[in-house]
A and B are shown apart, each in its own frame.
Chain A
Amino acid sequence: MIRRIASLAGLFAIELLALSSWLDTGSLSGSFGLAWAIGQAGPWVLRFVVLSTVLIALFGYQRAAAEIPSIDERLSKETIHIGYLAGHLIAVAGFALLSVRLYAGSAFGVTGNVLPVAWLLTGILAAMLAIHAFISFQLWKDAVRATGFAWLYAAAVAGAACLLGAVSWRLWSFSVSLTFALVKTVLGLFTPGVIADPATASIGTRTFSVEIDESCSGLEGIALMLVFSGAWLWLCRRDLRFPRALLLIPAGVAAVFLTNVLRIVALIVIGNAGAPNVALGGFHSQVGWIAFNAVAVGFALTSQQMSWVTVTGRSLDAEESAEDATTWYLIPFLAILAAAMIARAATAGFEWTYPLRLLAAGVAIWSYRHHYASQDWRFGGVSVAAGTLVFVLWIGLDWIMRGGAEVDTTAAALGQLSASARTAWLVSRILAAIVTVPIAEELAFRGFLVRRLMSADFEAVRPQSITWRPVLISSVVFGILHGQLWLAGAVAGIFYAGAYRWRGRLGDAVVAHAVTNALLTVWVVAGGHWDLW
């Protein structure tokens, strides 16, 4: 059944692509009546149909899982109906001809509704013929019935998403104006002599100013917050009191909107203070996420601890909450990620604040050192060999994926530092690469994620029993976090997981990782391949 549906979707996608690249709904804007309505609503109807179909498949698949085999069996006795398929192609040809008339006619001011009605009916007929050609209506009916109310949920979600999308376009200018006014007010508290031009939405001082365009007016953060808060409340619905918990959503939206105002104010203050490269560089690219993450975590904590919205009716005291093992497996890695975002936000290109990452990881590891004592930190020669092999593969894959092209700015930036600052930076970079990063990443990816993918009680999973699937998934995630070098990262993840599995010792994975990083350090520093850092 999946193959048939995929074939049908493929056919529709090709036809849609051909038609949409050929016809422009914008040309209907000058027409009237139904033709005008098609021009206005057509793209949104299309988005609704595609989105709701995908959602029905997602929601309905699990619900209908028990009945899919019997439907599959019945479908295997049906072949694709060539007659209906031919009818579909004829109808598509007719639809295309009518489209030409409709879209070209609009330029001359088509006022009648006959042509648009014929166009719509032909399109519907073409779609129905294709649907019936691939799978009979009776089977479709049974399949939809097996999915229960999935179609209703899917239509509701798709409708809400489209509505939100349509409305959001109209909110841009309002959002820019409101953000502009708030930035002007708050900036006045920090900086005298604010220069603001409402016509161009540019604001700043004599030395540094920015233009608040639509993309930084706060709506992106609001959209992310709506998605996040809706998903979070849904997932925690058993712990929360409704409808009062829903009030958290506007609170979160307001918070994320205001943090965007503060972000722009801080950006102008930094730029005005003489660091325009930092303001428009690392700060601009990182602080949006830092603000969103801060609000999202605040939202999650509030929903968990505020007795007014929790079902239990009492807040979660720090003493009451026994620390979950997840914490100490993940904390060093999360500390590095958080420190990296802050470190990048404070720089314009070269990350001279890198020691912050070492410090954050060091503090996290030291804080939970008693927990780590229970791990088996012994290691064998195989882990050293695995680490060396990964190094060779890393260099090779880097060369293949980037074609040997090196974009090196680190050496030049290091050259501008004083000798003591350069030494301090290099020492912290090397210590991080060889000590804290291997420990933090192996705890998170091999110690936690690989086993967590096998069981919720991940600590009970013996490392020797881990299978290929979790190794592959965790390695792909590990690879993605290495950006351009994702393939090398994924391959490395597989080898480190192998080292971990070999004797069930985390020490083997950590040492393999440390050996790779140590060799890479030599390659970078001695060979001058700074772009690998």
Chain B
Amino acid sequence: MSANRIAGVGLLVMGMAVVCQAAPVPEIDPGSATSAVTLLAGVLLLIRGRRKSR
């Protein structure tokens, strides 16, 4: 799976997180979305990288 696709998953999650912005005290804080989704996308890249290089 390419990095582009993982970036796509990240954007999808980010989009959903932004939708959550309507809530005043959200479970998922949109203000922290950028770094959280970047972290998730990076870890997913590592997981896929290890799998691919098997």
The answer, yes or no, to whether A293 is at the interface (CB within 8 Å) is yes
**Contact among B9, B24, B31, B47 for A304, CB-based, below 8 A:** B47
Chain B residue contacts of A216, Cβ below 8 A: 23, 25-27
Out of B16, B38, B50, name the residue touching A227 (CB < 8 Å): B16
- Starting from the known contacts A231-B12, A284-B25, A324-B49, 15 additional A-B residue pairs (CB-CB under 8 Å) come to A215-B24, A216-B23, A221-B28, A235-B5, A235-B9, A289-B33, A293-B36, A293-B39, A327-B50, A334-B39, A334-B46, A337-B39, A456-B2, A456-B3, A481-B34
Q: Which residues of A contact B54 (CB under 8 A)?
A: 316, 320-322
Q: Are B9 and A232 interface neighbours, CB within 8 A?
A: yes
The answer on a CB contact under 8 Å between B12 and A228 is yes
CB-CB < 8 A to B8: which residues of A? Answer: 231
In whole angstroms, how far apart are the Cα atoms of A15 and B6 in the complex?
Answer: 37
Cα A216 to Cα B9 in complex, Å, equals: 23
Asked if A424 is an interface residue, CB under 8 A from chain B, the answer is no
Structural contact, B51 and A321, CB atoms closer than 8 A: yes
**Can you sample 9 A-B contacts with CB below 8 Å?**
A215-B24, A220-B23, A235-B6, A288-B26, A293-B36, A293-B39, A323-B50, A337-B39, A456-B3
Smallest CB-CB separation from A297: which chain B residue?
B43
Question: In whole angstroms, how far apart are the Cα atoms of A300 and B3 in the complex?
Answer: 15
A326 to B3, CA, bound (A): 11
How distant is B29 from chain A, measured CB to nearest CB, in Å? Answer: 4
- Report the count of interface residues on B (CB-CB < 8 A): 42
Which residues of A line the B interface, CB within 8 A?
A: 213-218, 220-221, 223-224, 227-228, 231-232, 235-236, 239, 260, 263, 284-286, 288-290, 292-293, 296-297, 300-301, 304, 316, 320-327, 330-331, 333-334, 337-338, 340-341, 344, 444, 452, 456, 477, 480-481, 483
* B50 pairs with A297, CB closer than 8 A: no
Complex formed: what's the CA distance from A228 to B48 in Å?
Answer: 15
Contact B27 A220 (CB under 8 A): yes
Docked-complex contact A236 and B1, CB < 8 angstroms: yes
Shortest C-beta distance, A346 to chain B (Å), equals 14
Closest chain A CB from B23 CB (angstroms):
3
Instruction: Determine whether the beta carbon of B13 is less than 8 Å from that of A228.
Output: yes
Name the distance in Å between B25's Cβ and chain A's nearest Cβ: 6
A80 vs chain B, min Cβ distance (A): 33
| Given A293-B39, A337-B42, also A218-B53 (CB < 8 A) | no
- In the complex, the number of residue pairs spanning A and B with C-beta atoms less than 8 Å apart equals 140
In the complex, what residue of chain B is closest to A338 when comparing beta carbons? B39
Known: A231-B9, A231-B12, A334-B39. A321 touches B28 (CB 8 A): no
Q: Is the CB of B29 within 8 A of A289?
A: yes
B residues near A290, Cβ cutoff 8 Å: 36
Q: Which residues of B contact A297 (CB under 8 A)?
A: 40, 43-44, 47
Rounded to whole angstroms, the CA-CA distance of A436 and B52 in the bound complex is: 29
Query: Which of A288, A330, A338, A483 has a CB less than 8 Å from the CB of B28?
Result: A288
The dominant DSSP class at the A interface is helix
Give the chain A neighbours of B24 by CB distance below 8 A.
215
B32's partner among A235, A285, A334 (CB-CB below 8 A) is A285
Q: In the complex, what residues of B have CB within 8 A of residue A483's CB? A: 34
A300 near B47 with CB under 8 A, answer yes
CA distance A334 to B44 in the complex (A): 11
Q: Once the chains bind, are A215 and B46 in contact (CB under 8 Å)?
A: no
Measured between alpha carbons, how far is A235 from B9 in the docked complex, in Å? 9
Check A289 against B36 for contact (C-beta < 8 Å). yes
Chain B residue at minimal CB-CB distance from A310: B51
What A residues does B33 contact at CB under 8 A? 289
Contacts of A300 in B (CB 8 A): 43-44, 47
Bound state CA distance, A444 and B41, in angstroms?
13
Complex Cα gap A452–B7 (Å):
12
> Which residues of chain A have C-beta atoms less than 8 A from B39's C-beta?
293, 334, 337-338, 341
User: In the bound complex, do residue B3 and residue A224 qualify as a contact, i.e. CB atoms below 8 Å apart?
Assistant: no
Query: Quick check: B3 and A235 within 8 Å, CB to CB?
Result: no
A380 to chain B, nearest CB (A): 30
B27 touches A288 (CB 8 A): yes
Contact A326 B12 (CB under 8 A): no
For the complex, give the distance between the alpha carbons of A215 and B24 in Å. Answer: 8
- Which B residues lie within 8 Å of A480 (CB)? 34
Q: Tell whether, in the assembled complex, residue A330 and residue B42 are in contact, meaning their CB atoms are under 8 Å apart.
A: yes
Known: A224-B17, A285-B31, A341-B39. A239 touches B51 (CB 8 A): yes
Taking a contact as CB atoms closer than 8 A, the residue among B16, B34, B45 that contacts A326 in the complex is: B45
Q: Judging by beta carbons under 8 Å apart, are B9 and A289 in contact? A: no
Q: Is A333 a contact of B1 with CB atoms below 8 Å?
A: no
**In the complex, chain A residues whose CB is within 8 Å of the CB of B20:** 215, 220, 223-224
| Contact A220 B28, beta carbon cutoff 8 Å | yes
Pair A227/B42 contact, Cβ less than 8 Å:
no
Question: Nearest chain-B residue to A321 (Cβ)?
Answer: B50
CB distance from A271 to the nearest CB of B (A): 14
Residue of A with least CB distance to B46 = A327
* Contact residues in B for A215 (Cβ distance below 8 Å): 20, 23-27
Q: Which of B2, B32, B42, B51 contacts A289 (CB 8 A)?
A: B32
List 5 tightest A-B contacts by C-beta distance, closest first: A215-B23, A324-B49, A289-B36, A337-B39, A326-B49
Task: Establish whether residues A340 and B35, one from each chain, have CB atoms under 8 Å apart when the complex forms.
Answer: yes
Complex Cα gap A322–B53 (Å): 6
Closest A-chain residue to B43, C-beta based?
Answer: A297
CA distance A56 to B20 in the complex (A): 25
Do the beta carbons of A289 and B28 come within 8 Å of each other?
yes
Nearest B residue (CB) for A292: B28
